[in-house]
Amino acid sequence: MTAPDDPPLTGPGRDHGPADDADGTRVVRAGLPAEEPYEPPLPGPVFAAHYHLPGEVEDAPYAYGRDANPTWTRLERAIAELESPEDTDAEAVVFSSGMGAISAVLLSLARPGRTVVLPSDGYNLLAALRDRLEGFGVRVRTAPTGGNAQRHELEGASLLWLETPSNPGLDVCDIRELARLAHEQGALVAVDNTLATPLGQRPLLLGADISVASGTKALTGHGDVLLGYVATRNREVAEAVRGWRKTVGAIPGPMEAWLAHRSLATLDVRGQRQAGNALAVAEALAARPEVSDVRHPGLPGDPAHALASRQMSRYGCVVSFTLPDQAYANRFLAHLRLVSDATSFGGVRSTAERRGRWGGDPVPEGFVRLSVGVEDSADLVADIRRALDAAAPTPS
């Protein structure tokens, strides 16, 4: 079943709204139905396991709750508008989590005997998916994100998976160049766009075939929704991942989909504030002698800055850095007042964690991933400086 047709929607390429609207305007209105007298701008969630279904199923826009839901439809159209504003053929498919979306792409498009290229420094659950793929007879090659190293593994590949900026190391690769090289090999290109969001980077406009993200992070931004999505302009890919979602049942709840759509309206203002705060925090950390390897694409001295400036419109909310050891990092985290010790990133409240506690990431024991929220910038910097002072070991 393909995505059902709803009444005309606002936004670029639809019946309302010019395609040249700025992102701040577009994101507020993305995916909304045409205005109706006395109706809310964003209708509430539709809770339905089944629908009244007269006649045959073939052309029914909504037949069963695992296939489609009007609340998903509005969110999917909103995401498609944001990921590919100029293309009315772009489609999005939403999932119950980011891993649901990632798995749908890799497991529906890979085949025994084919070759998939993954980043060796990507999200740590990619390692589990690599094992799964290899168990199904798929050949998997890996290379780090930095320096476009994956280009050396493309011969004979059918799918190239990029994650840029990478999580948690914040390296960046050239989407346009790698997509060109992969297409010469006949490979599809997927980009994990979680950290950048569609307002910070548009992989489909840079030549990628697929943009994938965990909506759990900055897209929804409040730490209260698990969600994922796949966006593409390739109809066959959209049908494959939609079929995978139906088969495995990785569907989002209507309330989660509605909350995500509601949260999109503030993505631009949240993202701008977080990006500014993140740069201020990164600059403050870089000035501290006990802190090493500060990474944030917005820092002029960051190894990824020049490339990120060419393909990103904002640099995201995540800063990574390394403290001398595990104990030092734990003391630092314990002394923070405004930054919670928690995993995930992209929320309005700042969080940080010693990433090595999970295992699986090739990072030092004192490595910290910090997600910068929308608090006052000066307050955040002051809190971090105080925590660093308190974490210093007492001279013997």
DSSP 8-state code for residue 164: S
Q: Considering the domain boundaries, does residue 372 fall inside one?
A: yes
- Rounded to an integer, what is the distance from CA 96 to the centroid of its chain? 14
Same domain, 175 and 316: no
Q: Over the stretch 138-156, which tens digit does the pLDDT of each residue have?
A: 999 999 999 999 999 999 9
Q: Among 236, 264, 292, identify where a domain stops.
A: 264
What pLDDT does 15 receive?
A: 43
Q: How confident is the model at residue 19 (pLDDT cuts 50, 70, 90)?
A: low
Q: What span, in angstroms and rounded, lies between the C-alpha atoms of 224 and 319?
A: 22
Residue 95 pLDDT greater than 80, yes or no: yes
CATH code of the domain containing 185: 3.40.640.10
Among residues 14, 29, 130, 217, which one is catalytic? 217
Q: What span, in angstroms and rounded, lies between the C-alpha atoms of 124 and 168?
A: 9
What pLDDT does 266 receive?
A: 98
Q: What span, in angstroms and rounded, lies between the C-alpha atoms of 27 and 16?
A: 14
DSSP H helices in 312-359: 326-335
High-pLDDT (> 70) share of the chain, %: 95
Say if residues 317 and 218 touch (Cβ distance below 8 Å): yes
Q: What span, in angstroms and rounded, lies between the C-alpha atoms of 354 and 329?
A: 7
Same domain, 65 and 200: yes
Q: Over the stretch 174-214, which tens digit does the pLDDT of each residue have?
A: 999 999 999 999 999 999 999 999 999 999 999 999 999 99
Same domain, 244 and 311: no
Residue 127 pLDDT greater than 50, yes or no: yes
DSSP 8-state code for residue 33: B
Same domain, 141 and 284: no
Q: Over the stretch 351-374, which tens digit does the pLDDT of each residue have?
A: 999 998 988 888 999 999 999 999
Q: Among 222, 243, 264, identify where a domain stops.
A: 264
Q: Considering the domain boundaries, does residue 8 fall inside one?
A: no
Distances (CA, A) of 232 to 18, 30, 62, 203, 302: 21, 17, 22, 10, 31
| Segment among 19-28, 33-42, 319-328 with least mean pLDDT | 19-28
Instruction: Please state the rounded mean pLDDT for residues 219-243.
Output: 97
Among residues 21, 67, 121, 192, which one is catalytic? 192
Say if residues 83 and 231 touch (Cβ distance below 8 Å): yes
Q: How confident is the model at residue 225 (pLDDT cuts 50, 70, 90)?
A: very high
What pLDDT does 396 receive?
A: 67
Predicted model pTM: 0.93
Q: Considering the domain boundaries, does residue 185 fall inside one?
A: yes
Residue 58 pLDDT greater than 90, yes or no: no
Same domain, 200 and 113: yes
Among residues 51, 64, 66, 114, which one is catalytic? 66
Same domain, 213 and 284: no
Instruction: Please state the rounded mean pLDDT for residues 82-98.
Output: 94
Q: What span, in angstroms and rounded, lies between the C-alpha atoms of 195 and 163?
A: 9
Q: Over the stretch 264-282, which tens digit does the pLDDT of each residue have?
A: 999 999 999 999 999 999 9
Among residues 123, 229, 315, 328, which one is catalytic? 123
Q: Considering the domain boundaries, does residue 5 fall inside one?
A: no
Q: Considering its fold, how many domains does the chain have in total? A: 2
Distances (CA, A) of 18 to 50, 88, 298, 312: 36, 12, 31, 23
| Segment among 52-56, 227-231, 296-300, 384-388 with least mean pLDDT | 52-56
Q: What span, in angstroms and rounded, lies between the C-alpha atoms of 200 and 97?
A: 21
Instruction: Please state the rounded mean pLDDT for residues 300-329.
Output: 97
Q: How confident is the model at residue 12 (pLDDT cuts 50, 70, 90)?
A: very low
Pairing type for strands 188-192 and 159-163 reads parallel
DSSP E strand boundaries for 280-384: 292-295, 318-322, 340-341, 351-354, 367-371
Same domain, 181 and 260: yes
What pLDDT does 394 receive?
A: 83
Nearest to 130 by CA among 7, 119, 11, 359: 119
Q: Over the stretch 329-353, which tens digit does the pLDDT of each residue have?
A: 999 999 999 999 999 999 999 999 9
Looking at every residue in the chain, the average pLDDT score rounds to 94
Same domain, 257 and 278: no
What pLDDT does 362 receive?
A: 85
Q: Considering the domain boundaries, does residue 18 fall inside one?
A: no
Full domain range(s) for residue 304: 269-391
Q: Among 237, 264, 291, identify where a domain stops.
A: 264
Q: Is 315 a catalytic residue?
A: no
Q: Is 376 a catalytic residue?
A: no
Residue 2 pLDDT greater than 70, yes or no: no
Q: Considering the domain boundaries, does residue 123 fall inside one?
A: yes
Q: Is 123 a catalytic residue?
A: yes
Same domain, 255 and 179: yes
Helix count and strand count (H, E) for the chain: 11, 12
Same domain, 166 and 273: no
Q: What span, in angstroms and rounded, lies between the C-alpha atoms of 157 and 121?
A: 19
Instruction: Please state the rounded mean pLDDT for residues 285-299.
Output: 98
Q: Considering the domain boundaries, does residue 1 fall inside one?
A: no
CATH code of the domain containing 359: 3.90.1150.10
What pLDDT does 360 receive?
A: 80
What pLDDT does 10 receive?
A: 37
Same domain, 237 and 364: no
Strand partners, 370: 319, 352
Instruction: Please state the rounded mean pLDDT for residues 120-127.
Output: 94
Same domain, 348 and 308: yes
Q: Considering the domain boundaries, does residue 28 fall inside one?
A: yes
Q: Is 246 a catalytic residue?
A: no
